[in-house]
Amino acid sequence: MNRIWFHFSKMGLAACLSHLDTIRTLERACRRAQLPLAYSQGFNPRPRLAFGPALPVGMESEAEFFEAQMHVEYAPLKAASELNHSLPAGLRVIKASQVAADVPSLSSLVAAAHYRALLPKPAQSVLAQAVSEVLHSEEWIIERPKKGKRDVRPLLHALELTGNRELHFTLASGQDGTLRPDDFLTALAHECHDCFNPVDARITRMGLLIKGKEGLGPFDKYF
């Protein structure tokens, strides 16, 4: 059994594809690339693929990951190259690496995600103030329609406004809780009295983080 992890990007119009669309596309791309996939048993055999955290529709990403199990040894570099010839526009494999059998699953390892949001217009100072306030508070209660209130401050690991149009933030994503970037931006906009329209922000997932002994660390140590 041979586990290969792929790091890929989802850019441009491919951002309009849902997580399920992406899964379907990857599965077919693996078949087109004639990768020797391992299949599950039973009446309806499925290829053994596993995916990283779902990305909401409309967001680009430079940090998407999926795992494919092969039933024979197969060079990750070759797999990456073959896949890149079989992918539609906007999806591209950046790196591929073999992963040992005892390494936990992708989804169980991921603890957080780093995002970048580009605001359509330069933000006013109210935004810098709101950012500072949020960072300095111990609690941040937000309310979602039909979902009630929750304290999301523990789910926010980092937040920075660079220049006056670029927000960088790291949100929890995984088994210990998840804060969606669009929900985060909506809440932040609310904090600065709607100083920007969260729907118009262009969000890109920049990286994934895993929980290590010294806190959150980069995911690509596995590559």
Partner 1 sequence: MLLVKELPQLLKRVSRPGRYIGGEFNEVQKDPREVDVRLALGFPDIYEIGMSHLGLKLLYHILNQRPDVWCERVFAPWHDMEELLRQEQLPLYTLESKSALCDMDIVGFTLQYEMTYTNILAMLDLGGIPLQGGDRSPSDPLIIAGGPGAFNPESLAPFFDVVVLGEGEEVIGELVDVYKEHAALERGVGWRQRLLQAWATIDGVYVPSGYTIAYNGDGTVKSIEPTTAQFPPVIRKRLVQDIASAPYPTDPVVPAMDVVHDRAMVEIFRGCGRGCRFCQAGTIYRPVRERPVEQVQSLARDILKHTGYDELSLVSLSSADHSCISPLVLSLLDEWEKEKVGISLPSLRVDTFSVGLAEQVQRVRKSGLTFAPEAGTQRLRNVINKGVTRDDLLTTTRAVFSAGWRLVKLYFMIGLPTEIEEDVEAIAELTYDVLHTYPRGKKGGKVNVSVAGFVPKPHTPFQWEAQDSVGMLESKQERLKQRFRTRRIDFSWHDAGLSVLEGAFSRGDRRLANVLLAAYRLGCRFDAWSDQVDLNKWEQAFEESGLDISFYAQRAREKDEVLPWSHLDSGVSQEFLWEERQRAYAGKHTPDCRHDVCSACGVCEGLNAGVVLCGQRSEP
- Catalog residues that contact partner 1 under the rule CB under 8 A: 12-18, 20-22, 24-25, 27-32, 39, 43-45, 47, 57-58, 60, 86-90, 199-200, 202
Q: How far is the CB of 113 from partner 1 (least distance, A)?
A: 19
Q: How far is the CB of 149 from partner 1 (least distance, A)?
A: 26
Query: Of 23 and 99, which CB lies nearer to partner 1 in the complex structure?
Result: 23
Q: How far is the CB of 221 from partner 1 (least distance, A)?
A: 31
Kindly tell me the sign of the dihedral angle through the C-alpha atoms of 135, 138, 143, 148.
positive
Query: Of 109 and 189, which CB lies nearer to partner 1 in the complex structure?
Result: 189
Q: Judge contact between 35 and 82, C-beta under 8 A.
A: yes
Query: Of 60 and 191, which CB lies nearer to partner 1 in the complex structure?
Result: 60
Q: How far is the CB of 17 from partner 1 (least distance, A)?
A: 5
Q: Judge contact between 6 and 83, C-beta under 8 A.
A: yes
Query: Of 194 and 200, which CB lies nearer to partner 1 in the complex structure?
Result: 200
Q: How far is the CB of 24 from partner 1 (least distance, A)?
A: 7
Query: Of 18 and 175, which CB lies nearer to partner 1 in the complex structure?
Result: 18
> What is the spatial distance between Cα 51 and Cα 150, in angstroms, rounded to a whole number?
27
Count of other CB atoms within 10 angstroms of residue 39: 12
